[in-house]
Amino acid sequence: MSPTDIDYQIMWNRLIAVVEEQATTLIRTAFSTSVREAGDLSAGLFDRQGRMMAQAVTGTPGHVNAMAESVGHFAAEIGPQNTFEGDVYLTNDPWLGTGHLHDITVVTPVFRQGTHIGYFACTAHVVDIGGRGFGPDAGEVYEEGLLIPITKFAERGQVSPLLIQMIRANVRTPDQTVGDLYSLAACNEAGDRRLQAMMDEFSIADLAGLADYIIEASRRATHAAIAKVPDGQYANTMDVDGYDAPVHMAVALAVSGDRISADFTGTSGMSAFGVNVPEVYTRAYACYALKCAIAPEVPNNAGSLAPFEISAPEGCILAAKRPAPVSVRHVLGHLVPDVVLGALHHALPGVVPAEGASALWNIQIAARASDPASGLPAREILMFNSGGTGARPKVDGLSATAFPSGVSTMSVEATEHVGPIIVWRKDLREGSGGAGAQRGGLGQVIEIEAREGYDFWFNAMFDRVEHPARGREGGAPGAPGRVELADGTKLRSKGRQKVRNGERLRLSLPGGGGYGPPVQRDRDAVRRDLEAGKITATEAREIYDLKD
């Protein structure tokens, strides 16, 4: 009996559960903080042609179609004649994977009754990959760590000892990095077991019919959603801080019938530092933004992603060429949705939010003994922190919340157990939300001091200090970020800096932009904000024009 539409729908539903289970397993076993806390991973199933059928929804829109494209590269590189049951492949090539060396993509071919029918793939951010470590300071990708080309991690079930030795010898945390590789391979295996059980239940021998059904239904739904966007050309530009020099981002959207494209011609050239973005990562964030606004309910797969055609001219900072350094490509990557949504606003007024803080304010702290002779151990601490999101047409922005990234913050109490620091303050930054009929989300203020006997270094990689999030439709910009000591001494918003014992680092994270004129804000909402201390009395009177 051949499967009916209902069968395909049930199998589709099951596949989404399978890939979610894959992702959950990885999150629980991974060593990398960003996988665990930030969901910096992805997992998915592909058909034999490398078309993505299902993908787990994780904290990383950056992987949305990056991983999807990656599997095609594997299929081409390995070739059908070399694809065997029990094989596992991997790479961390930023241009073939998900944009930087820390992300390792593992692909496992799926066999059924001896026939190759598809692939499972997953990606995770590992703790360390050698080189200079996670930071923007390299001049070329070669300095950023070990690059593993598309390679067999295992052939016919035999793990390559040479590869393991090579990796162990080149990273600072061999147990954890190699442990994560096994985790990735095991999560594909778990997916394979579930898939085989499902195929038994439905008596199907291959994935072709199911893949066609999923991809066709998704493509149709996506095209139908795009067709509702008015035809036309819509452009936008946005300037952001960048690393060594401000970055100009330009995008042109073209909508025609059920097709939409985004092109980044006019964007600044590459940086000498590791903030460059491989095009695959730009495509992912641009696609994420468009999908959120146009077809949020369609699950990610080859059919729902293909209709978004995204390109950036090679050599611009959003389509960096080898061997550019790309380690912290996420900073500019996180800002891509703001510029794309700004263009889409011209086509779909009343749908997209104002600009937000967008780029995460990750703080990487290296605590070191003030007196090296004291013997106090060195400690590394990583914190994820978010500013405010842009106000939406009908609702306020979200305060201290990540967008477009999906990361979570960590408990301060847990962080203080990890390393010798005291976080004196981590609360909302009053008055930082851009004023508007809908107010931008508030940023936050964080104050950190080293415990007795320690100084600390931190790696500043903060944007929206010189270029705050802009409001929309008459909304005011959010407050720009600030980096300083608690006594008011200004610090640089980029680069490695030292905070001595007794000094306190203060980070004031940017707020989101407002939407619509502040004077049109609901009076009760203004009063509530004032009572809650989210805006000042002066702001209420002068910007919101509150009379009483």
**Where in 403-432 is the site for other proteins (CB under 8 A)?**
403, 406-414, 416-418, 422-428
**Residue 95 vs 288, nearer CB to other proteins:** 288
Which amino acid is it at 446? I
Spell out, one character per residue from 212 to 251, where the chain touches other proteins: x when CB under 8 A holds, - when not. Answer: -----xx-xx--xx--------------------------
Distance in angstroms (rounded) separating the CA atoms of residues 482 and 460: 11
Spell out, one character per residue from 477 to 516, where the chain touches other proteins: x when CB under 8 A holds, - when not. Answer: ----------------------------------------
Retrieve residue 187's tokens: 């999560």
Nearest approach, Cβ of residue 214 and other proteins (Å): 8
**Among positions 353, 434, 440, 518, the unique one binding other proteins when judged by CB under 8 A:** 353
CA atoms within 13 A on the CB side of 144: 30
**Residue 218 vs 327, nearer CB to other proteins:** 218
Identify whether the C-beta of residue 91 lies closer than 8 Å to the C-beta of residue 129.
no
**Among positions 19, 319, 352, 483, the unique one binding other proteins when judged by CB under 8 A:** 352
Nearest approach, Cβ of residue 387 and other proteins (Å): 10
Nearest approach, Cβ of residue 473 and other proteins (Å): 15
**Residue 17 vs 76, nearer CB to other proteins:** 17
| Binding positions for other proteins, 431-460, rule CB under 8 A | 444, 447, 451
Nearest approach, Cβ of residue 250 and other proteins (Å): 23
Distance in angstroms (rounded) separating the CA atoms of residues 505 and 225: 47
Residues forming a β-bridge with 505: 448, 485
**Residue 33 vs 271, nearer CB to other proteins:** 33
**Among positions 76, 205, 395, 537, the unique one binding other proteins when judged by CB under 8 A:** 395
Nearest approach, Cβ of residue 290 and other proteins (Å): 11
For residue 195, the tally of other CB atoms under 10 A from its CB is 23
For Cα atoms 127, 150, 282, give the angle at the middle one, nearest 5 degrees. Answer: 70
Identify whether the C-beta of residue 357 lies closer than 8 Å to the C-beta of residue 443.
yes
| Binding positions for other proteins, 21-50, rule CB under 8 A | 21, 24-25, 28-29, 31, 33, 36-37
**Among positions 168, 172, 322, 394, the unique one binding other proteins when judged by CB under 8 A:** 394
**Residue 186 vs 199, nearer CB to other proteins:** 186
Residues forming a β-bridge with 304: none
Nearest approach, Cβ of residue 29 and other proteins (Å): 5
State the DSSP H helix or E strand holding residue 305, giving kind and residue range, or none if neither.
helix 302-305
Nearest approach, Cβ of residue 186 and other proteins (Å): 7
Distance in angstroms (rounded) separating the CA atoms of residues 482 and 493: 8
Residue 532 binding other proteins, by CB under 8 A: yes
Nearest approach, Cβ of residue 75 and other proteins (Å): 26
Helix (H, G, I), strand (E, B) or coil at 70: helix
| Binding positions for other proteins, 279-298, rule CB under 8 A | 291-293, 295-298
Spell out, one character per residue from 4 to 23, where the chain touches other proteins: x when CB under 8 A holds, - when not. Answer: xxx--xx-xxx--x--xx--
Nearest approach, Cβ of residue 48 and other proteins (Å): 22
**Residue 418 vs 519, nearer CB to other proteins:** 418
Identify whether the C-beta of residue 108 lies closer than 8 Å to the C-beta of residue 88.
yes
Retrieve residue 102's tokens: 């820390």
**Residue 366 vs 422, nearer CB to other proteins:** 422
Retrieve residue 466's tokens: 């010189």
Helices marked H in 311-363: 330-347
Which amino acid is it at 110? V
Rounded to 10 deg, the angle between the 5-29 and 174-202 helix axes is 160
| Binding positions for other proteins, 110-169, rule CB under 8 A | none
Distance in angstroms (rounded) separating the CA atoms of residues 340 and 263: 10
How many residues line the site for other proteins (CB under 8 A)? 87
| 503 alpha-carbon distance from chain centroid | 32
Nearest approach, Cβ of residue 15 and other proteins (Å): 10
Longest dimension (CA), the chain: 78
Distance in angstroms (rounded) separating the CA atoms of residues 183 and 124: 10
Distances in Å between the Cα of 254 and the Cα atoms of 6, 82, 214, 308, 511 are 36, 41, 26, 11, 30
